[in-house]
Structure 1
Amino acid sequence: MEYKDYYAILGVSKGASQDEIQRAYRKLARQYHPDINQESGAENRFKEIGEAYEVLKDPEKREKYDRYGSAWKAAQQSGGTPPPGYEDVWFDISGSPEEAFSGFSGFSSFFEQLFGQGGQRGGFWDNLRTGQPGGSQFRTMPGVDQEAILSLTLEEAAHGGQREISLTDPETGQSKTYAVKIPKGIRPGQRIRLAKLGSPGMGSGAAGDLYLHVELQPHAAFRLEGRDLYTTLTVAPWEAALGVEITLSTLDGSVRVKIPAGSSSGRQIRLKGRGFPDPKGGAGDLYAEIEIAVPKSLSDDERRLFEDLAQRSTFQPRAVETVL
C-alpha cells in the first residue's frame, strides 16, 4: 500500500503532542470541509486529514503506525505481528491487486485483511484507485469539540442556577439559545460539557461537544482563594481600640461580627463555613481583614480630642520590642 505520512498531512512533527495534533486537525478540517471549500481536490484532502487524525489521535493506533507504517492496521488485526515482507510493500494503484502483489510471498492473507475476501477488484480497491468515496467509512467523520469562555459572577458560581447562551452557526449565521445549568460551587478553570453542541459530524458521524471554560469576574468585595473568601473590614481608630460589633456582608447575607478591643490593621477575623460552597457539602471559610481608616478631615472638637489623646497616651507604636 502506498505509504501516507500522516504527520505531514496534518503538518505536525512526529513528536507532536496530542494537543498539537488536535489543533492541527481542527484547523485543517475547517479549511477543507466540503461544505465550505468548493475547490477541486478539497474533499479528498478532507478525507486524508480525517484519516490521519483518526490514527494519530489514538495512542495505540499511533504506536502501530509509527512502527509499521502503512501496514499498521494489518499488524493491529493480527495481534501486533505484521505479514511477511511488510517492510517492502509498495505498489502502484493504477495496476491490479494481483500485479501489485506479484512476487511477494505470504500476501494473500495480508491482502484479504486490507481489501476484503480474495482481494477482488471493485469495492475498496476501485474506490482507492479512482478516489471515489465508496462507502460510509469515507463519508463519516465525527465532529470536532469546540471551546468557549463562560464568564460568571462570584455569586453565580457560588449559588449555581441557569444561564442562557446563544450559539451562532458560522455557516448559516443563525443563532440558537440554550439553557445551561451552572453547578453550585463551580470554580474558575473548571469546564461544563454540552454534549453534541460542537462542530457537526460528516455523514452519520456524531457532532462534537462544546466545553465551556469557567472564568470569574472580579468582585468588588471578595477575593477567592481555593474555597476560602477574603474581604476587608474597615473600622475607625476608636472601634479598633475599644472593640465593637458590626455588620459584615457575606455571599449568603449579612452577619454580626465582633471586633476585639486592641485590634490592629491586618488582623483577620475568621468566619468558619462562610466561604465558597463545596458541591460535596460544606463551604470554605471567610476571612475578614481589619483595616483602620482615619478621617481625612477633623472637626475642631475631634482635633482637640486627638491632641488630648496624643498628650495623655503612653502608647509607642514604633517601639522596638526586646526579645529575651
Structure 2
Amino acid sequence: MAFKDYYQIMGVARDATEQEIKKAYKRLARKYHPDVNKAADAETRFKELGEAYDVLRDPKKRQAYDLYGADWQTARQAHSNGFAGQQYEQAAPDMHQFEDIFSSFFGGQGFGGNRGGRRGFESFDLHGDHVRAKIQIDLADSYHGATRTLTLNDGQGQPKTLNVRIPKGVVAGQYIRLAGQGAAGLGSGKAGDLLLEVAFKPHAMYRVEGKDVYLTLPVAPWEAALGASVSVPLPNGNIDLKIPANSANGRRLRLVGKGLPAKQPGDFYVELHVVLPPATSQQAKQAYEALKAATDFNPRRHWGKAS
C-alpha cells in the first residue's frame, strides 16, 4: 500500500492539535469540493482530504498511523503503546464516510448521484467566510472623513478594487465592515463580509494614542522662559497656542476636544521641546556669558537628592 502523508495532505504539523486539524479540514474542504473547484484533480484531492481527516481526527487511528505509517490499517498489535489487541481491517476508503465528515461541518448533502457509477456532487448552500485585511489611512482622514480606493486579491488571483468610506472619528484598531465583499458563498449561500482593520500611516509630526493626538513643539529658550504665542499645526488647521512663562522642557499643554472627533472627542497634547541655540558666534558666546552672570542657575542643584 502506497504511503500517504496525511499531515502533508492536511497541511499541518505532526504535532498539530485537534482544533488545528479541524480548522485545516474546513478550509481545504471548501477549496477542493468539486461543486466549487472545477480542476481535474479536485475530486481526488477532496477524497484524499477526507481520508486524511478521518484518520487524524481519531486519536487511536492517528496513533496507529504515526506508529505504522502505510501499514497502520493492517497492524494487529502495537507493543507497549496502548494498542495491544486492537485490530484494523484493511479496506478501501468508504466515500459515504467522507460524506458524513463533510456534512457534519457544512450541513450539506455531500456525495450523491447513482451509487452504481461515478458519483456526482449535490449542490448545497454555505455562507462565505468573513475576510480580514488592514487599511492604512492618513490622520486627516479621521478628522474629516474620506473615501479611499483599495485594491485586494479576490481569492482567485484577480485584483478587486473597492471604494472604502472612511468614517469621521475612526480610530486605530477599529474595523470597517464591507458587507458581501468577503469570500464567496457556495450554492445560494451569501458572500461573507470584508473587515478592514484601521491603522494610521506614520506621521513626521503627530502620534496617536486612542482618540488623543500628540505633537512635539520645538521652542526657543526665551519662548519657554518669557512666554510666547506660537502657531501650532493641527491636522484640521492651525491654532495660536499661548506658551506660559517659565515653561520647562517636556511640559505638556492640553487642547481639550482637539483630538480625534467623536461624541466625546479626544484631546490634543502639545509637548514642549526647548531647543538651545548653538554658541558658534562671538555674539552668541557673549549672550551665554551674560546669562550665566545674570543668574545663579544650577541645573544640578537638587540632582540626586531625595525630594
TM-score range, shorter chain: 0.5 to 0.7
User: Root-mean-square deviation (CA), in Å?
Assistant: 3.8
Which of residues 208, 211, 224 is equivalent to 1:224? 208
Q: Distance in 2 between matches of 1:172 and 1:124?
A: 27
Between 1:188-197 and 1:295-304, the stretch displaced more is 295-304
Q: Distance in 1 between matches of 2:252 and 2:178?
A: 41
1:170 CA drift (Å): 4.7
Q: Does 1:16 align with 2:26?
A: no
Q: Does 1:132 align with 2:108?
A: no
Paired residues of 2:212 and 2:260 also in contact (CA < 8 A): yes
Q: Does 1:286 align with 2:288?
A: no
Q: Distance in 2 between matches of 1:46 and 1:307?
A: 86
Cα distance, 1:202–1:186 mapped onto 2, change above 3 Å: same
Partner residue, 1:247: 231
Residues 89-133 of structure 1: per-residue CA shift (max 9 Å, x gap): xxxx99xxxxxxxxxxxxxxxxxxxxxxxxxxxx99974956735
The one-letter code of the counterpart of 1:132 is R
Q: Which runs of 5+ in 2 are unaligned?
A: 1-8, 55-92, 95-108
The one-letter code of the counterpart of 2:267 is D
Residues 236-255 of structure 1: per-residue CA shift (max 9 Å, x gap): 11111111111111122111
1:181 CA drift (Å): 1.0
1:188 CA drift (Å): 1.7
1:262 CA drift (Å): 0.9
Which of residues 128, 148, 152 is equivalent to 1:163? 148
Partner residue, 2:277: 295
Matches for 1:115-264 after TM superposition, within 5 Å:
127=113, 129=115, 132-133=119-120, 135-137=122-124, 140-171=125-156, 173=158, 175-264=159-248
Could you say what secondary structure the match of 1:149 adopts? strand
Q: Which runs of 5+ in 1 are unaligned?
A: 1-8, 53-92, 95-122
Could you say what secondary structure the match of 2:180 adopts? coil
Q: Distance in 2 between matches of 1:192 and 1:23?
A: 27
Q: Distance in 2 between matches of 1:244 and 1:306?
A: 21
Q: Distance in 2 between matches of 1:31 and 1:40?
A: 5
Counting helix residues as a fraction of each chain, which structure ranks higher?
Answer: 1
Partner residue, 1:275: 259
Q: Distance in 1 between matches of 2:110 and 2:171?
A: 51
Paired residues of 2:111 and 2:122 also in contact (CA < 8 A): no
Paired residues of 1:158 and 1:185 also in contact (CA < 8 A): yes
Paired residues of 1:32 and 1:45 also in contact (CA < 8 A): no
Partner residue, 1:116: none
Q: Percent identity?
A: 34
Using the size of structure 2 for normalisation, the TM-score is 0.66
Paired residues of 2:140 and 2:236 also in contact (CA < 8 A): no
The one-letter code of the counterpart of 1:26 is R
The one-letter code of the counterpart of 1:311 is A
Q: Distance in 2 between matches of 1:48 and 1:158?
A: 52
Paired residues of 2:126 and 2:187 also in contact (CA < 8 A): yes
Q: Distance in 1 between matches of 2:111 and 2:291?
A: 100
Residues 202-234 of structure 1: per-residue CA shift (max 9 Å, x gap): 222222222212121111111111211111111
How many residues align structurally?
244
The one-letter code of the counterpart of 1:303 is K
Cα distance, 1:125–1:192 mapped onto 2, change above 3 Å: closer
The one-letter code of the counterpart of 1:39 is D
Paired residues of 2:111 and 2:119 also in contact (CA < 8 A): no
The one-letter code of the counterpart of 2:146 is G
Partner residue, 1:38: 40
Q: Distance in 2 between matches of 1:239 and 1:218?
A: 29
1:276 CA drift (Å): 1.5
Q: Distance in 1 between matches of 2:37 and 2:110?
A: 24
Partner residue, 1:25: 26
